[in-house]
Amino acid sequence: MKKIMIFIAALCVVTAAGALYASTSAAKVSAAGASEYTLTVNGRAVQVNTAEQMPFEHKSTVMVPLRATAESLGYEVSWIAAEKAVRVEDRIQSVLLKQGSTQAKFTGKLKVINLNQDVELPVPVQSRKGIMYVPTAFFEPFFNEVVIKEGNISISAQMSSIQ
């Protein structure tokens, strides 16, 4: 009888330890997978319509929804069906992006300064459920300041410094 009681007690300890380990591991996985970011453009929070439009991290690079972010900065976003590409434009320059590509082709001119350049993005442009995402670094050649700190993404136009 004493051996049975010791066996049952040991079984309870092992079961409790296993359950405790599993619950902490699951919490770590869900916390890592659900890293949420808030997106602020020019000091205003960008409202996303659904959870699918939330910024996310891909290969240590923060991705933001292209249209919502670009339009919040005052850029025009258009789809070019013939090229299967997206064009983002402001009054100085434009850029052409293709899904799955790491190349962003900027064209434009600021007075006598040629702004034409090919920019290599850290990760490819992605599409999720019909929403195109770009790395936050995409907005820097448009003369924007990008700051990512403690789950907050802040993108601010720096046009006053170049006018």
Q: What is the pLDDT of residues 94-152, one digit of tens each?
A: 999 999 999 999 999 888 888 899 999 999 999 998 899 999 999 998 888 999 998 99
As a whole number of Å, the end-to-end CA separation of the chain is 88
Show me where the domains of the chain are located: 1-34, 38-161
Largest CA distance in the chain: 94
Q: How far is CA 155 from CA 92, 102, 152, in A?
A: 18, 20, 10
Structure tokens at 29: 């996985």
Under the phi-then-psi rule, with left for phi > 0, alpha for psi from -120 to 50, and beta for the rest, what region is 137? alpha
Instruction: Kindly state the percentage of the chain with pLDDT values over 70.
Output: 75
Bridge-based pairing state of the strands 103-110 and 113-114 = antiparallel
Global model pTM greater than 0.85: no
Ranges of beta strands (E only) in the chain are 38-41, 44-45, 56-58, 61-65, 76-80, 85-89, 93-98, 103-110, 113-114, 117-120, 126-128, 131-135, 144-149, 152-157
Provide CATH code, domain 38-161.
3.30.457.10
